[in-house]
Amino acid sequence: MLSGRRILVGVTGGVAAYKAAYLVRRLVERGADVRVMMTRSAQQFVGPQTFAAITGQGVASELFGAASVSPHTELARWAEAVIIAPATANTLAKAAHGLSSDLVSATILATTAPVLLAPAMHTEMWENAATRRNVAVLQGDGRTMVGPASGSLAGGDTGPGRMVEPEEILQALELLLKGPLSGVRMLVTAGGTREPIDPVRFIGNRSSGKMGFAIASAAVASGADVILVSSADLPPPSGARVVEVETAEEMGQSVVKLAQEVDVVVMAAAVADFRPAVIEETKLRRTDGIPEIRLEATPDILASLVALEKRPYLVGFAAETGSYDTAIQKAISKGVDLTVANDVAAEGSGFGSDTNQVALIDSQGTIERWPLLTKVEVARRLCDHLAGQLNERAAKG
C-alpha cells in the first residue's frame, strides 16, 4: 500500500538519525516516492548525501537560498504523509507551539497531510514536564506519535526515549494512510448510456458522469479498490480500473459480472430505460422519409443485482424533479440498501453541474437531506457514510 505514495521524511538532530537512513531505504524498497528534509543539527549526525543516494533526490534543509523559492510550502503540499524520525525534544516543542523557524518545523506547520512523529531522546528529556505538555498538545492537534520505546540509549543509559525501529514506523505509517474504505472493493457506474438508432445516431441523456467519477475518486482516496464502469467522456480518475461501455445492455453485463467480485456497487450512471428495438445497419436518410423508431425496455440492472444470491451492498441513484416521494417509494420497493436521490431540477443541482443537492434514503424509507454541496464533497461524504454502513454490517455479522 506504500507503492507510489508521496512520503516526506524529516530528520532532526538526535543520535537515532542514523536509523532514519534505514527507514528511508525501507520506504524506497516498498515503492514509496520519498523525499527527505533535515535540520542543521541532524546533519551533525548523518550527511544529506546518504539520503540523497538512497532516494535519488536532493535533500532539503534550508528555508532560504534553496532551488525552490518556498521549499516548506512546496514539500508540505507534495507530501501525502510526513514522518519526523527521529523527532527531537526541540522539534516537538516547536511543532507543539506552531513555531516555524527552520525548514522542518515550517513544513510541519504548513502541511495538511498526516504527521507521524517518532520521538527519540534521553529519558530525562522525554520525562520532562515541558516535553510531556508538548506531546499532549501535539496529540490533541491530531499528530500521531509512534514510540518512544524503552531500551538502551546513546551514552550507555537505559530507559524510555529510544526511537522505535523503522519497521514499527512503517506499520504506523500504513495505519495512518489507511482510509475508511481500506480493503473494500467497490464498483461505481457513471455516465449516461447511449442507445444506438443507426451507425451515427443514438438516444442519450444529459448525465455528464461527474458525480460517478467524483465517487470513484473519493473511494480511491478512502482506500477502496475501485472499478469504474463508465459511459462518460471524462479523463479516467487515477487509481481506479476503468471499464468503458456504451449501452445499457453492455453496462448491465459488465456490472452483473463484476458485482460478484465486489463489496459495494454504486449505480450513479443514468441508464436508459428504453432503447430502439431495431438498430438500423445503415444510416437513416432524410430521403427515405421520417422513420418510426419503436422502443423496447432495457434490462433493469438494479433488479438483476438485487436478485443475485450473494449480493453486494447496493446503492442506487434516483434523479427526481421536485418531490422525493417517488424516490422513497422506490427505495422501499426496489430492495437496494441505499438510495441517493437528487433533485435534478433544483438550482445548482443535477446534470453537468459541479454541485449537487442530494438526500439519502435507506431501505425503510428514512430520508436524510444534505445541503447543496460540490459533487466532490457529496462523493467524500457518501464514502464516509458507506464506510459507517459497512462497519455496522460487519459488527452485526
Ligand X SMILES: Cc1cc2nc3c(=O)[nH]c(=O)nc-3n(C[C@H](O)[C@H](O)[C@H](O)COP(=O)(O)O)c2cc1C
Catalytic residues: 205
Tabulate helix, strand, coil % of the chain (nearest 5): 35, 25, 40
Q: Residue 214 carries which side chain, given as an amino acid letter?
A: A
Nearest approach, Cβ of residue 16 and ligand X (Å): 6
Using the rule CB under 6 A, is 60 a contact of ligand X?
no
Q: Which residue reads 534505514 in cell numbers?
A: 22
Nearest to 176 by CA among 63, 260, 80: 80
Mark the segment that binds ligand X (CB under 6 A) among 34-42, 140-148, 235-243, 296-304: 34-42
Nearest approach, Cβ of residue 129 and ligand X (Å): 15
User: Are β-strands 373-374 and 355-356 bridged in parallel, bridged antiparallel, or unpaired?
Assistant: antiparallel
- The single residue among 125, 137, 203, 293 that binds ligand X, judged by CB under 6 A, is 125
Nearest approach, Cβ of residue 317 and ligand X (Å): 52
- The single residue among 42, 46, 181, 301 that binds ligand X, judged by CB under 6 A, is 42
Mark the segment that binds ligand X (CB under 6 A) among 59-67, 86-94, 228-236, 265-273: 86-94
Using the rule CB under 6 A, is 123 a contact of ligand X?
no
Q: Which is nearer to ligand X, 130 or 308 (CB)?
A: 130
255 neighbors 212 (Cβ within 8 angstroms): no
- The single residue among 39, 247, 339, 353 that binds ligand X, judged by CB under 6 A, is 39
Using the rule CB under 6 A, is 120 a contact of ligand X?
yes
214 neighbors 194 (Cβ within 8 angstroms): no
* Contact mark string toward ligand X, 87..116, x via CB under 6 A: -xxxx----------x--------------
Q: Which is nearer to ligand X, 11 or 387 (CB)?
A: 11
Q: Which is nearer to ligand X, 16 or 255 (CB)?
A: 16
Q: Which is nearer to ligand X, 88 or 208 (CB)?
A: 88
Q: Report the distance separating Cα 173 and Cα 115, nearest Å.
A: 9
Using the rule CB under 6 A, is 121 a contact of ligand X?
yes
Q: Which is nearer to ligand X, 41 or 100 (CB)?
A: 41
The alpha carbon of 25 is separated from its chain's Cα centroid by a whole number of angstroms, namely: 26
Long-range (24+ apart) CB contacts under 8 A made by 318-323 are 318/342, 319/270, 319/344, 319/350, 320/344, 320/345, 321/345
- Determine the residue with CB nearest ligand X: 14
Q: Report the distance separating Cα 293 and Cα 202, nearest Å.
A: 11
Using the rule CB under 6 A, is 267 a contact of ligand X?
no
Mark the segment that binds ligand X (CB under 6 A) among 38-46, 175-183, 259-267, 369-377: 38-46
Q: Which is nearer to ligand X, 18 or 369 (CB)?
A: 18
- The single residue among 15, 103, 184, 211 that binds ligand X, judged by CB under 6 A, is 15
204 neighbors 180 (Cβ within 8 angstroms): no
Residue 309: how many other CB atoms lie within 10 Å = 5
Q: Residue 41 carries which side chain, given as an amino acid letter?
A: S
> With contacts defined by CB under 6 A, how many residues of the chain interact with ligand X?
16
User: 3-class DSSP state for residue 124?
Assistant: helix
Using the rule CB under 6 A, is 118 a contact of ligand X?
no
Instruction: Report which DSSP code applies to 354.
Output: S
Using the rule CB under 6 A, is 12 a contact of ligand X?
yes
Using the rule CB under 6 A, is 41 a contact of ligand X?
yes
Q: Report the distance separating Cα 9 and Cα 170, nearest Å.
A: 12
Using the rule CB under 6 A, is 14 a contact of ligand X?
yes
Residues 288-303, buried b or exposed e (16+ Cβ, 10 A)?
Answer: eeeeebeeeebeebbe
What phi, psi does 242 have (nearest 5°)? -105, 130
Q: Which is nearer to ligand X, 35 or 275 (CB)?
A: 35
Binding residues for ligand X, per CB under 6 A? 12-16, 39, 41-42, 88-91, 102, 120-121, 125
